[in-house]
Structure 1
């Protein structure tokens, strides 16, 4: 009897033991292994489905984000345009106000110059009258302060000058 020809009772006991171990393996371990493999496969497929769903969600969120960024850029451009227009209008208003104030100052200065000219002219006329009277008094040799027609004569002379008439001898 050798290893290739075992005794029959051992062979039967070995076959029955093998059958029992095989039956336990088939009845208990194979369903557990199949259940574990099915759970792993389901987890892998679920993970893949979740990954696809998450990828779609990420793309949707990205497109929404890009739409919001585009809308924000358009709004910023609109606000810049509005601000530019408002700034230009404000500058135009400031320029108009400056021109108006300048015109007011020019008118006021002209009025002041005219008033100063009239005052200076009146003072000069009075000084000329005084000097002419004093000179005439020196020529005559007597003071002419009491000359009654001198004032009327001087006023008539200055009125002629104002009218553009040449001075009379």
Structure 2
């Protein structure tokens, strides 16, 4: 049993040393240890509070960013729609302008054709008049004067009518 129970000569000083050490630690060590634990608890609580504030701020910033992103998407869609509308309008304007220019070109061509037609008819009438005078002079056997030629031609044109198809 001597192995289990300590020797009293050693036991009493150890108990006295333990009690003195417990009193010293209780008086000086435990308050410092308790202060250190309270500071650590306060630091952790402050860190949790700051972490919660940072989380709330990041959620607010994320919501703001998502709102701005949605507005940017809407604005981009509006710009694309406006550009598309402007393109359609420009296309319609260019098409109308091209049609007007084509109509003007066709009208100018018709006017030029009409002028050429009238010139050709006048030339044809002159040729017919010359041929008619030549045929008449051969039939009559004498040359006619310019005044006589004109009278015959005018009478022929009045009797036969104009070559103008209008």
TM-score band (shorter)? 0.7 to 0.9
| Matches of 1:13 and 1:69, distance apart in 2 | 78
Q: Secondary structure at the match of 1:162?
A: coil
| Matches of 1:5 and 1:110, distance apart in 2 | 138
RMSD of aligned alpha carbons: 2.6
| Matches of 2:84 and 2:155, distance apart in 1 | 66
More contact order relative to length (CA 8 Å, sep ≥ 6): 2
Describe the shift of the 1:5–1:123 C-alpha distance in structure 2 as closer, same or farther (beyond 3 A): closer
The TM-score normalised by the length of structure 2 is: 0.79
Residue deviations 1:125-152 (CA, integer Å, cap 9, x gap): 111122222233334445x363532222
Unaligned segments of structure 1, at least 5 residues = 165-169
Describe the shift of the 1:14–1:48 C-alpha distance in structure 2 as closer, same or farther (beyond 3 A): same
Unaligned segments of structure 2, at least 5 residues = none
Q: Is the 8 A contact 2:121 2:163 kept in 1?
A: no
Residue 123 of structure 1: CA displacement? 1.0
Which residue is equivalent to 1:167? none
Describe the shift of the 1:159–1:98 C-alpha distance in structure 2 as closer, same or farther (beyond 3 A): farther
Paired positions, count: 161
The TM-score normalised by the length of structure 1 is: 0.78
Counterparts in 2 of 1:16-95, with a 5 A limit? 16-95=16-95
Which residue is equivalent to 2:153? 154
| Matches of 1:99 and 1:138, distance apart in 2 | 57
| Matches of 2:34 and 2:155, distance apart in 1 | 139
